[in-house]
Amino acid sequence: MWLGNISHRFPNPKTNMTNFKLWLSILDTSEFKNMDPLTTYEKKRICASHFDDHDNSPGTKKLKYYAFPHLNVPSTPATVMDVCDLETTCSQQEICESPVPSTPVTVMDACDMETTCSQQEICESPGRSLFDRELAECGSSEESELEGIYKLDNDSILQSNAVVVKPIKTPVKKRLKKPGVLCNIGLRKISQLTPKCRSLYKGSVLLSKRLRWEQKKSSSFKNRLAAAEKYSDGVINSKFASRMTSAAAIFTNLQLRATNTKARGRRFSLDEKLLSLSLYKQSAKSYRTLAKLFTLPSRKTLTNLLSKIPVNPGIDQTLMKVLKNSVIKLTEKQKLCAILFDEISLEPNLTYDHNIGMITGFEDNGIGRTQKFADHSLVFMIRGVVKKYKQPISYSFCKGTTSSHDLSNQLKNCIRAVHETGLRVVASVCDQGATNKAAINIIKNDTRSEALRRHIEYKEEFYKVKCGEDILNVVHLYDPPHLLKGVRNNLLNKNVIFTMDGKQMEARWSDIIDLYELDCQIEDVRMLPRLIAEHVIPHKIKKMKVKCAAQVLSERVASIMSFLASKKIMNENAKDTGKFCQFFDKLFDSVNGSYDKVVDGKIYRTGLKRYSRHHQLWEESIKDFKRNFNQDSLENFFGALRALGYRNTNPTCHLFTASYRTLLLNNLMSSHSPGNNCEADFGDGCLTSYKSLFQTFEDSTPDQCDESELRVSDGTPKPMTGLSSDVLSDLQQTHNYIAGFVIKKLNTVLFKNCTVCLHEICSLTTTKGYELTVSRDYKPHGKLLLKYPNQTFCSLVKSSIDIIAHFLPSICHHKTLKNELTILLRENININAIKCPEHGEFFPKQFFDFIIKLMVHNWCTQINRILSGKLGIGKNEKDAIKISAFQRYQTFCKKPKYK
């Protein structure tokens, strides 16, 4: 029976003899045994009823390459062993393994398959036999015709000779099939379309292919364009960055990248934030102007960056870790360093920092605190001897000056901490302060006692410090510029008798005054134009300025004085003063030079070498020093600290801490500001990388809170007695107004206009106790804007104020001030004023934090006003801190307002 007049040709024996024999074995008719294979191929056809729809290539009427007749064929044995040969030709196909069923199962329709099936990996359903799937997946076949075909009763022969092939398990990427045009209109085959629709369908297929191609082309072009833009930006940045400083390259890259970005969508790198921070700390007003012209981080961004770096008095162990990582690559000579220490004057002032819960402004050496007002800060810094680097490592606050015993302990602790980082301390440098001398003598006496105890030789040239298993020999030097200043100060009141070239000579300050007065008689052109009254006249001299001493004891003054004395224009004894000035000029140059080249004929103001002229001069004058053994680095650090913002000339302890943190982050410590007490030291900046410093501070875990310090139990505050009724009424009005202010702030951060919370703590009526609050209310259109607390909340605020005011003077210097006040409030008052299920849990902490911040800040403000003379104290004042602040004001103020 012909199925629609469709027939299929036998496989070509020339190209596919294996499949041709398979067909013959399945049919098993004697008609084909003696017939030539080519004749069978050319003249014989087999009906399409012997094949199912799966044997056809999808979208065509052609058979697949390995299709074979299996429907309506005779059930006679046939040789199908040759099927094994098919495996060799199908080794590249992926065959899905499934169980062989005993009955035929309908499989997928041809319309659900892609038109390009020859490139797909086909996985049939479990209902089809393995042998059927093996042959159905192997390509297309050619058409043939054949009549008289008999159907096999079953496919047992095929199943018994089927070869079980294990599939290769490879991950198959699932693709979502998009519905085609035919599926969208409810058809499954193109043959169901009319001729006109078929033509339109073919056109749509071509257009779809064209669209996919254009989309792919466009996507490829976008990718290439993005890569080209990225490459061009990198080339431009690298090209121009090599011609700019690192700061200029960071700033330029920031402008190119973030200018066209919205303000809230800008993101800044750490380098950009630190660069902006250095600009902001130089001048906040200038930074605001630059922010209007360029794209820069906001002030809030910079303050958040600073807040992540905790800086406290004493040696910071986190900084020591960063320093230890920074010195690993240094050689042994480069690790040699000197430790410098000096004090800077501060303005007495108290500041409460609610973030750390502590008041800044009391004496604090990093180990303990007192209730004395700090007016000086002691800073320790390391300075490289061979390699020019410097780094502040510790600071402390003190009143007047640090005690000699405390200073000696801090110095030894700093030397031990620096030694643990890998650096080697060989010298310590300071000025000639009495406390500094006493501290060094204490350490030397300890060294002498240890030497006598161990019966070893003691040398006065150095003192010893034990650092673990090592014992360091440290030489102490006094700052040469300060030595020169000390010589000048002594010469002001005393004549100097000295011996030079075997002759006894005498130097007088009066000779210098005579030279200055003689030079001032020349109106137009002077011989010594740099000398002014601040250099010569004793009561006008700035005794703390080293440059004033160096410009007087100079080569120019000595040569002109000797010339005038030789011409008898001046007293002949002035020659001795001239030689004295010339001697100290050469000596000071020999210990204050750092260059190899001779500048302005100053042969001694050069770097020290093995065969330089310094040795001969020193043999005749003093022992050797080096340029790196002075305090210029520390003095420049103080100058940079005072120069921040140009208004920090007399910083408080709080401002000093903030400036110290800023100079620790950026590389501004080598900047030289006008009016400094020394020359610029031309250092290479901080040894510690501020990047690694920031990252180490960020990664380090915060230290646990210190234990509460011991406090004398004073009991709960007693009610005030002896006050008039008017004073008590005013006090109650003030407490009620403060309670309303507390509610207003808590409503902003916690309640968020919660009706339940406000109903529990606010009053619905304004009674007599709210007269002050009503008078302060603006009452627009008769509406009250301020908060009016009820009696319960007023009592809560009043009790909190009394407890804080009672205990604060005795524990104000504690590091855990906030925690201690919170514990006292929890123990003495009932905080269950809010029963709101949403905010009741968070109310106690928010209330305690705000009331403590409010009261402590107000107390510090009163202390600062007393210290500055803006506020006095009452006769019955019992606050010990306020009394101490008033006594200090009376002591140091030239014209006190209050007595």
Residue 450 lies in a domain: yes
DSSP state of 151: B
List Cβ neighbours of 305 (8 Å cut-off, separation of 6 or more): 273, 274, 277, 694
3-class secondary structure per residue, 753-771 = CCHHHHHHHECCCCCHHHH
Do 417 and 389 share a structural domain? yes
Q: How far apart are CA 617 and CA 202, in angstroms?
A: 106
How far, in Å, are 230, 258, 273, 560, 823 from residue 242 at the CA level? 19, 21, 21, 51, 59
Do 661 and 739 share a structural domain? no
Boundary of a domain, candidates 307, 341, 376 = 307
Residue 239 lies in a domain: no
How far, in Å, are 373, 396, 663, 672 from residue 657 at the CA level? 15, 10, 10, 20
pLDDT higher than 80, residue 693 = no
Do 680 and 608 share a structural domain? no
Residue 291 lies in a domain: yes
Between these two residues, 586 and 746, which has the higher pLDDT value? Answer: 746
User: Taking phi first (over 0 means left), then psi (-120 to 50 degrees means alpha), and beta for anything else, what does residue 659 get?
Assistant: alpha
819's tokens: 């925690």
Of 209-218, 437-446, 838-847, least confident by mean pLDDT is 209-218
As beta bridge partners, residue 471 has: 466
Mean pLDDT of 380-402: 89
Three-state SS at 297: coil
pLDDT tens-digit profile of 624-677? 334 445 666 666 677 766 766 555 667 888 877 877 776 766 543 343 333 344
Q: How far apart are CA 386 and CA 334, in angstroms?
A: 5
Q: How far apart are CA 492 and CA 494, in angstroms?
A: 6
pLDDT tens-digit profile of 856-875? 999 999 999 999 888 888 88
Reported in sequence order, the residue ranges of 414-531 that DSSP labels E, i.e. its strands, are 424-430, 463-467, 470-478, 496-500, 503-507
DSSP state of 699: H
How far, in Å, are 430, 588, 722, 727, 763 from residue 769 at the CA level? 63, 75, 21, 13, 11
Do 289 and 144 share a structural domain? no
Query: Nearest-CA neighbor of 438 among 419, 468, 399, 411?
Result: 411
Q: How far apart are CA 38 and CA 14, in angstroms?
A: 8
Q: How far apart are CA 458 and CA 821, in angstroms?
A: 54
Do 662 and 772 share a structural domain? no
Which pLDDT value is given to residue 522? 79
Give exposure, 619-646, as e/b (b: 16+ Cβ within 10 Å): eeeeeebbbbbbbbbbbbbbbbbbbbbe
Domain assignment of residue 768, given as a range: 725-887
pLDDT higher than 90, residue 409 = yes
**Cα three-residue angle 412-417-419, rounded to 5 degrees:** 95
**pLDDT band, residue 231 (cuts 50/70/90):** low
Structural domain tally of the chain?
A: 5
Do 514 and 565 share a structural domain? yes
Query: Nearest-CA neighbor of 573 among 521, 497, 516, 518?
Result: 497
Mean pLDDT comparison of 210-224, 334-348, 568-582, 771-785, highest-scoring range: 334-348
Q: How far apart are CA 58 and CA 140, in angstroms?
A: 10
Do 580 and 686 share a structural domain? no
Mean pLDDT of 810-838: 89
Which pLDDT value is given to residue 340? 92
Q: How far apart are CA 1 and CA 4, in angstroms?
A: 9
Query: Nearest-CA neighbor of 60 among 129, 10, 114, 126?
Result: 114
Q: Is 891 exposed, middle or buried (0-12, 13-18, 19+ CB in 10 A)?
A: exposed
Mean pLDDT comparison of 35-44, 116-125, 648-657, 738-747, highest-scoring range: 738-747
Do 457 and 428 share a structural domain? yes
pLDDT tens-digit profile of 181-230? 777 777 778 887 888 888 888 888 889 888 888 888 787 777 877 777 76
Which pLDDT value is given to residue 854? 93
Residue 235 lies in a domain: no
User: Cβ(757)–Cβ(751) under 8 Å?
Assistant: yes
Do 473 and 339 share a structural domain? yes
Which pLDDT value is given to residue 274? 83
Tell me the CA end-to-end span of the chain in Å, nearest whole number.
Answer: 133
Boundary of a domain, candidates 174, 189, 223 = 174
Which pLDDT value is given to residue 422? 92
Residue 209 lies in a domain: no
DSSP state of 11: P
User: Cβ(806)–Cβ(717) under 8 Å?
Assistant: yes
Residue 729 lies in a domain: yes
Q: How far apart are CA 264 and CA 802, in angstroms?
A: 45
Do 880 and 740 share a structural domain? yes
Q: How far apart are CA 630 and CA 380, in angstroms?
A: 13
Could you tell me the maximum CA-CA distance found in the chain, to the nearest angstrom? 154
pLDDT tens-digit profile of 412-440? 999 999 999 999 999 999 988 889 999 99
Mean pLDDT of 511-524: 86
Main-chain dihedrals φ then ψ at residue 611, nearest 5 degrees: -115, 25
Boundary of a domain, candidates 174, 206, 222 = 174
Q: How far apart are CA 153 and CA 584, in angstroms?
A: 128
Tell me the pLDDT of the chain averaged across its residues: 76
User: Cβ(660)–Cβ(377) under 8 Å?
Assistant: no
Q: How far apart are CA 427 and CA 443, in angstroms?
A: 13
Do 385 and 502 share a structural domain? no
Do 345 and 297 share a structural domain? no
Which is it for strands 424-430 and 470-478: parallel, antiparallel or unpaired? Answer: parallel
pLDDT higher than 80, residue 157 = no
User: Cβ(144)–Cβ(7) under 8 Å?
Assistant: yes
Mean pLDDT of 271-295: 87
Residue 231 lies in a domain: no
Which pLDDT value is given to residue 91? 36
**Cα three-residue angle 119-122-126, rounded to 5 degrees:** 175
User: Cβ(553)–Cβ(585) under 8 Å?
Assistant: yes
Mean pLDDT of 699-706: 51
Mean pLDDT of 777-805: 85
Three-state SS at 823: helix
Mean pLDDT of 165-185: 59
Which position has the token pair 């405390």? 406
Residue 706 lies in a domain: no
